[in-house]
Structures are given as C-alpha cells and as structure tokens.
C-alpha cells in the first residue's frame, strides 16, 4: 500500500472540514452538507480498492 | 534507451506539477473574480445614483436636452457606466429615448443584476416625455429604489465576498490533492 494515500486522505479531510465551516458561516447549510458528502464519496472511491484487496487476502488466508 | 525513458518520465512529472499549479491558480482566480463582482455591483450602483443626481440637477437648472446631458456625463469615458452613456449618445438621434435607455441598460455588460436593471429601466418610461417636475420626481423615485438596492448589495457583499474567496482557494487545493 502506498503511504501517500494516507496523506492524501488526511489532506482532503482537513480541506473538507474547512470548506464545511466556511459554508456554514455563510449560512449555506445545504451546500455544506453536499460538500461533506462529496468529500466522503471521493475518499471512499480512493479507498475501495484497498478494501477489496483486504477482503481478497482474507479469503486467500483462510481458503474461503 | 533506459536513460531516454527515465528522462521522459522526469519531464512528465514536471509537466504534471505545472498543470496542477495551473489548475490551482485558475480556481483561485475564479473565486476572486466572483468576489470582485459583488464589490463592483455596489460601486456601480453608487455611481448610477451619482449620475442620476447630476441628471436631476441639469434638468432642473439648465434645461438642456437629454442628448447634451448624456454627452457631458460620458465626457470622461473612464468607467463602464460612462461608456453606457456614450453608447446612448450614438443611438439617441435615431430612436426614442425610452428605447435607447432600456436597450442600453439591458445590454450593458456590468456587474449589476437583473433586478437593478429593471429599476433603472423603469426610469426610461418618463425620461424626456413629461415636464421638468415629472422627470425630477421620477428620478427621485428611482434614486430611492437604488438606495434600497445598494443596501441589499452591501449585505450580499458582506455575506458572500469572503466565502467565495475561500471557496476558490480550497476547491483548487482539493482538486490538486485528488489529482496528485
């Protein structure tokens, strides 16, 4: 696994948190919610390969 | 051969960083541009109010025809609004005042929004049609409406300007990090 992925996810997390704060402060709660969801989806799409490889290795380990 | 491939990879790497920098600066610039629009709207509305004041005084005291008044307003030709009046002078000899006023305000390429334009266009109905008193009172009514719009624009500016600046920078950063 590439360690850069972790840093990338951390950076996106921080930026989405800041974005959420800025939008809430400007009185746009709906958009703040949407950006948080978009951040979640982006991070999930980055992580999904790693998760699938984890399941694969578990399966091979126990011969399922 | 290997050296060649390594070199090419290095060039691609540099190109990638240049493009990422380009995306970041573009997104920041868009944010700043939208923030600037809110500032410009307030400025332009204030300028319009000032120009209406000049028109009112000229109609009241010098009784000059509208073409002459427009010419004096457009004389300096420095801001966008004065350019609109410059355009009006070119048209005013061929069409009625109402047509010239409404079309020039509508087609003007400035930061004020449709609501402001509608208020200004309403003035065109009476401009150059009635006597001095009627025109002056119409200009005063428009000025009062503009005051309200200025207040609204100031509020919008306070609420949105800072947000769009931050939004541009952070959206650029997110794109860069995702693509890195």
Tens-level pLDDT at each residue, chain A (64 residues): 688 889 989 999 999 999 999 889 888 889 999 999 999 999 999 899 999 999 999 999 998 7
- pTM, entire model: 0.75
Q: Considering its fold, how many domains does chain A have in total?
A: 1
Q: Give the helix, strand, coil percentages of chain B, each rounded to 5.
A: 85, 0, 15
Task: Give the nearest partner residue to A12 out of B160, B162, B174, using CB atoms.
Answer: B174
Report CB contact under 8 Å: B167, A22. Answer: yes
Q: What is the mean pLDDT of each run of 10 residues along chain B (180 residues)?
A: 82 92 95 91 86 84 79 75 78 77 79 81 76 83 88 88 90 88
Longest dimension (CA), chain B: 88
Task: Give the nearest partner residue to B163 out of A15, A26, A42, using CB atoms.
Answer: A26
Complex confidence, ipTM: 0.76
Q: What is the pLDDT of residue B77?
A: 62
Which of B20, B155, B173, B179 best probes binding to A when mutated, by most A CB atoms within 10 angstroms? B173
Contacts of B159 in chain A (CB under 8 A): 26-27
What is the distance of C-alpha B1 from the center of its chain?
Answer: 58
DSSP B100-167: HHHHHHHH--SS--HHHHHHHHHHTTTTTTS-HHHHHHHHHHHHHHHHHHHHHHHHHHHHHHHHHHHH
Report CB contact under 8 Å: B163, A23. Answer: yes
What is the residue range of A26's domain?
A: 3-62
Average pLDDT, chain A: 90
Dist. CA A21–CA B11, nearest whole Å:
39
* Residue from B114, B109, B57, B54 nearest B84 by CA: B109
Contacts of B160 in chain A (CB under 8 A): 26
């Amino acid at each position: 696994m590439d360690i850069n992925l972790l840093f990338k996810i951390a950076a996106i997390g921080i930026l989405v948190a800041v974005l959420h704060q800025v939008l809430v402060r400007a009185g746009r709660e709906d958009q703040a919610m949407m950006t948080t969801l978009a951040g979640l989806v982006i991070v999930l799409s980055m992580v999904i390969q790693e998760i699938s490889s984890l399941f694969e290795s578990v399966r091979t380990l126990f011969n399922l | 051969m290997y050296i060649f491939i390594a070199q090419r990879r290095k060039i691609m790497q540099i190109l990638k960083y240049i493009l990422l920098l380009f995306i970041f600066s573009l997104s920041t610039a868009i944010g700043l541009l939208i923030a600037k629009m809110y500032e410009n709207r307030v400025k332009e509305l204030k300028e319009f109010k000032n120009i209406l004041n000049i028109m009112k005084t000229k109609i009241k005291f010098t009784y000059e025809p509208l073409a002459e008044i427009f010419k004096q307003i457009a004389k300096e030709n420095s801001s966008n609004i004065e350019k609109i009046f410059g355009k009006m002078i070119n048209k005013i000899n061929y069409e009625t005042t109402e047509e010239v006023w409404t079309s020039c305000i509508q087609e003007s390429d400035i930061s004020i929004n449709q609501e402001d334009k509608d208020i200004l266009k309403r003035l065109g109905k009476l401009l150059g049609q009635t006597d001095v008193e009627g025109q002056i009172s119409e200009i005063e009514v428009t000025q009062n409406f503009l005051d309200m719009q200025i207040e609204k624009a100031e509020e919008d500016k306070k609420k949105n300007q800072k947000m769009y600046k931050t939004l541009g920078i952070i959206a650029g950063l997110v794109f860069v990090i995702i693509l890195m």
